[in-house]
């Protein structure tokens, strides 16, 4: 691959995530449209964009421009496009009333002696026998749930969504990403996000421990605070009202109130501003990718562009 061809294909990948367009709609200036997604898959499998992001962070650390005095953590959801979730096969019957016309199961039949949702009569031994149609519907639903789980997609108020958990430094730049299903809580991925922070300096081991970590009340859990205390990291997390009430109810056995730096907490807006930067690309704001690896690769690409823009801002 020549340098000019590789540059065009790299710009084609940027065009795809920036506009959210399909690979087939790619302008001809980037070359054959089928070549760009093939190169993207090869780069994705080789973790090229993740290595690019880590290299840019290392370059910023070499210049002394990485500020780990305060790291802010938050999450945001990305709604999956209708082409994003894994589809059922066309010959596979759909569950319940949502079956495809001509290809699904017949409507569910009410058994003799069975009432509606208001109540059911006692079922005889014959009625309690296995219903093949019901078993097939359950099998289809279980298979669909497993596919969504493998694709890191879940149900939330916005439909099928994925949730991005991210960490930002004090200068509104990304440090780490963790992708989960949309209905996942914020507190469990707190420790994995911190574990992905690695800032390589000119010499020595990479720095993985910030001075302070800021988060909203969703991260106010006993496990998160204990993890930060164990690593000697200052917790800038406000305490939930119910946790404070339970602590006061126990009296002296409830322990001391959690320390909270209100002035330092005001700078947590850096991660929220970073989310706005990430979602300025349509391919990041909406998930069009079927596999979570492809979407996470797009996040690493967008983060790399943010670091490149920040590092080249002061250069002539």
User: Is residue 210 a contact partner of residue 198, using CB atoms and an 8 Å limit?
Assistant: no
Chain Cα centroid distance, residue 301: 15
Residue 79: exposed, middle, or buried by beta-carbon count in 10 A (0-12, 13-18, 19+)? middle
CA dihedral 233, 239, 240, 241 (to 10 degrees): 170
pLDDT at site 98: 41
Strand partners, 213: 71, 235
- Strand, coil or helix: what is 64? coil
- Strand, coil or helix: what is 207? strand
Q: How many CB atoms are closer than 10 A to CB 296?
A: 20
Sign of the Cα pseudo-torsion (217, 219, 225, 230, in order): negative
Q: What is the pLDDT along the chain (316 residues), one digit of tens a residue?
A: 566 678 889 999 999 999 999 999 999 888 888 899 999 999 999 999 999 999 999 999 999 999 999 999 999 999 988 765 555 554 444 444 444 433 444 455 555 555 554 544 444 444 445 688 888 888 888 887 777 777 778 877 768 899 999 999 999 999 999 999 888 888 999 999 999 999 998 888 999 999 999 999 999 988 999 999 999 999 999 988 887 788 888 787 777 777 888 999 999 999 999 999 999 999 999 999 989 999 999 999 999 999 999 999 855 4
Distances (CA, A) of 288 to 61, 131, 164: 33, 38, 15
In angstroms, the CA 138 to CA 142 distance is 6
DSSP 256: P
């Amino acid at each position: 691959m020549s340098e000019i061809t590789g540059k065009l294909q790299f710009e084609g990948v940027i065009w795809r995530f920036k506009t959210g367009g399909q690979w087939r709609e790619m302008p001809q200036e980037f070359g054959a449209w089928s070549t760009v997604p093939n190169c993207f898959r090869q780069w994705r499998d080789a973790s090229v964009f993740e290595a690019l992001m880590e290299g840019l962070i290392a370059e910023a650390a070499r210049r002394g421009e990485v500020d780990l005095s305060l790291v802010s953590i938050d999450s945001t959801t990305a709604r999956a496009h209708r082409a994003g979730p894994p589809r059922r096969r066309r010959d596979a019957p759909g569950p319940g009333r949502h079956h495809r016309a001509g290809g699904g199961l017949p409507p569910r039949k009410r058994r003799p002696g069975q009432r509606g949702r208001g109540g059911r009569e006692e079922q005889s031994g014959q009625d309690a026998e296995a219903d093949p149609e019901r078993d097939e519907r359950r099998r289809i639903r279980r298979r669909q749930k497993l596919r969504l789980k493998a694709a890191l997609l879940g149900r939330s108020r916005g439909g099928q969504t994925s949730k991005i958990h991210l960490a930002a430094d004090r200068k509104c730049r990304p440090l780490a990403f963790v992708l989960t299903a949309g209905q996942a809580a914020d507190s469990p991925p707190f420790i994995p996000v911190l574990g992905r922070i690695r800032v390589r300096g000119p010499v020595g081991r990479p720095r993985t421990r910030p001075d302070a970590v800021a988060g909203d009340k969703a991260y106010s859990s006993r496990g998160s605070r204990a993890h930060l205390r164990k690593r000697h990291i200052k917790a800038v997390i406000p305490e939930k009202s119910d946790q404070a009430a339970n602590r006061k109810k126990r009296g002296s056995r409830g322990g001391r109130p959690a320390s909270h730096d209100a002035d330092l907490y005001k700078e947590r807006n850096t991660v929220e501003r970073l989310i706005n930067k990430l979602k300025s690309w349509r391919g990041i704001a909406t998930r069009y990718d079927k596999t979570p690896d492809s979407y996470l690769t797009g996040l690493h690409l967008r983060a790399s562009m943010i670091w490149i823009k920040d590092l080249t801002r002061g250069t002539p």
